[in-house]
Every structure is written in C-alpha cells, then in structure tokens.
Amino acid sequence: MKSFLLILIATCIISMNAGAQGCVAIRSTGGMCTMDHSDTTTSKWLFNANNRYFNSFRHFVGEVEQTQRTDQGTQVINHAYTLDLAITRILNNRWSVAFDMPIISNTRSSLYEHGGKERHTTAAFGLGDVRFSVYDWILDPVKNRRGNVQVGLGIKLATGDYKYQDRFYTNTAGVTVMGPVDQSIQLGDGGTGFTTEVNAFFNINRTISLYGNFYYLISPREQNGTSTARGGTPSASAIANTSDVMSVPDQLMLRGGVNCMISKFTISAGLRNECLPVHDLVGGSNGFRRPGYIISGEPGVTYAFKKLNVYAFVPIAITRNRMQSMPDKISTDLTGKYTQGDAAFADYAVNIGMSFRF
C-alpha cells in the first residue's frame, strides 16, 4: 500500500507542471497533489523537482495546420524549458500546504519580429510566477483507502517578470531596439491569480488504478500594460482591437488516465487537455492573447525507491486549436472581414523529474 501511494504522488505531482506546448502561453503553475495518507508513513515533507522542455514550430489557425510556414521557413520556433521546484508540508492525514517556484529559460526565433529578412532570436530567463496552495482530502483517508478526492485552493503571485526585454532587429541594417519579448516566452503574466484544483484516484485492485486532475487559474486582471510592439510604436489597428498590450488570461487543465503497477514500476496512460480560454471567468478578456487548447495522449513511467520516486511523462499532441481571440473578434466587427490569428504548437513535451519524501 505504501509503495502504491508513493507512485500516486509522483503521477499526480506533475499534473499541472506542464504548460501548453507553444505560443498558447499557458505557464507552469505547479501541481502538488500530495496523495498522502499519514498512517502509512512518518514523512512530513515532500520535495518535487520537475524538468519540462518542448520545441514549438507548427502553426495552426483553428485546427488547421499552416504547413506553408515551415515550407517557406517563416515559422516561429520556441524552445521552452522550466525547472519547477515544489515543497509540500503534510500537516496531518487530511491537510497539506505547498509552495511552487518555477525557474524558466525560453528562446524564440523568428523573422517577422526582426524586419522579416533575417531570422534572429530573443530570450527570457529567470523566476516565474510562484504559487501557494492549501489541500484537503474530502473523505477520511484512513477509512477510504480505495479512492479519495482532494480539493485545493491557492494564490499565484506576479513574481515573474512580465515586461522582460530583449533586442529586436529592425528594417534598417544594423539598427536594433529594446522591447518586451513575445507573450509566449515572458516569465510571468503580471496578475495575481487564484487557483482551484480537484485531484482524485480510485484503486481498482492492487495493480490497476485510475487518476484524474482538474486545475483552473482565475485571473481577475484584464491587461498587464506590457506593449506588444517589440520596442516599436503600436499600429492603429492594434490599438483599436486592444492587442497593443498583453492580456492576463485564465488557464484550464484536465487530466485523467490509468496506472498499472508492476513491481516498483508504474506505467501510466492518459489524456491531457490544456486550455487558455477566450473569455475569463472574472474580469475582462481584452488585450493580446492566443487562446487555444491542446489535447495530448500522455504516456508515462514512474520508478519507486524507498523515499524517492523518479518519473518521465511525455504528452504527445493529438489535437491543437488556436481559437479566435477577443482582438480577432473586434477586428472582424470593425472591418467586416473574418479575422483569426495563428499560434505555434509543439508535437510533444518532455517531463522528467523526481519526488522525495523526508
């Protein structure tokens, strides 16, 4: 039983560590589903370190891939890496508190941001948005070993630099300007948000179990004031449709699947849906954002030592959809011509990490 619970910790703890794979800027927000029962272990602390990497380069408008972008060599190429460090304090068999700190290193290569003639790269590195959370098991873990539901509430702070700048080349040879990097590689979103979580598991037998995770970030702030002009002057059309400044969007994640435990290995197979919605639950939805979602198949493997788990999960894209944003809708109304922007997505992401109980 103890080994099985440790496997569940590692499986669930990465549930929100992964952001959507590309220009749809769903940022790392951590995910500390403790899956702990105090009567099975004397550990009071859980430390998790998750490494996530993806390379996005496939452009989509809606669910249609813009293959001409890669054929012509005009695609945007994002390399995104996040080291997520999370510490959980287990208070008793029902309650726990957690703190998550992401360290981010992103690069973005493009032509259109640098005059359109030569490809250049911008980058951002530093601390992301940290999060504090409180978790409670709905059912008494001692009496409900076969299955349980955990709920969590948290606050995400705007600790990541949401105005990070780098150098952009212009149409004039040799002339560069400093400006905020693209929203997809910014370190933070500039808003204080509130997180809600539901994490659940059910043991079918000693070998097979089911898991599910729900996460939603509520971002009341509408815009963060960061210019999207990359050191230049916003266009009249960008000002008119509000895309001249970056928005502070909500985030949604759904995840579920099955675990199969074989000795100290657990093989996982599931589905993951990560979404940056068009409309926020609280506050306005104007400003620049690339709303969309990515549905992925998520195979994974976990190996359990006595107090240490190591794992690898690789969400593989099945469906990618860049939806029509509020600025797109405003432009459609102003011009009478349907407008919908694009976004670059990755084929897969790689999550490798470890969790240690002490």
Quick one: which of 128, 248, 126, 228 has its CA closest to 168?
A: 228
pLDDT per position as a tens digit, 286-330: 999 999 999 999 999 999 999 999 999 999 999 999 999 999 999
Structure-token pair, residue 332: 């459609």
Q: How far apart are CA 82 and CA 253, in angstroms?
A: 18
Confidence of residue 82 (pLDDT cuts 50, 70, 90): very high
Segments of the chain assigned E as strands: 45-61, 64-65, 77-90, 95-110, 120-127, 131-137, 147-156, 165-169, 176-180, 193-203, 208-218, 223-227, 245-247, 251-262, 265-276, 292-304, 308-313, 316-322, 343-357
Q: Which 3 state secondary structure label does DSSP give 124? A: strand
| Summary count for the chain: helices (H), strands (E) | 4, 19
198 beta partners: 151, 214
Query: Which DSSP state fits 243?
Result: T
Of 26-35, 44-53, 74-83, 344-353, the least confident:
26-35
What residues does each domain of the chain span?
A: 2-357
Nearest one of 279, 238, 213 to 29, comparing CA atoms: 213
Q: How does pLDDT run across 155-198, given as a tens digit for each residue?
A: 999 999 999 999 999 988 889 999 999 999 999 999 999 999 99
Quick check: 24 pLDDT over 50? Answer: yes
CA distance 22 to 72: 19
pLDDT for position 13: 55
Percent of the chain exceeding pLDDT 70 equals 89
Q: Which class would CATH give 2-357? A: mainly beta
Lowest mean pLDDT among 34-43, 185-194, 208-217: 34-43
Residues in the chain: 358
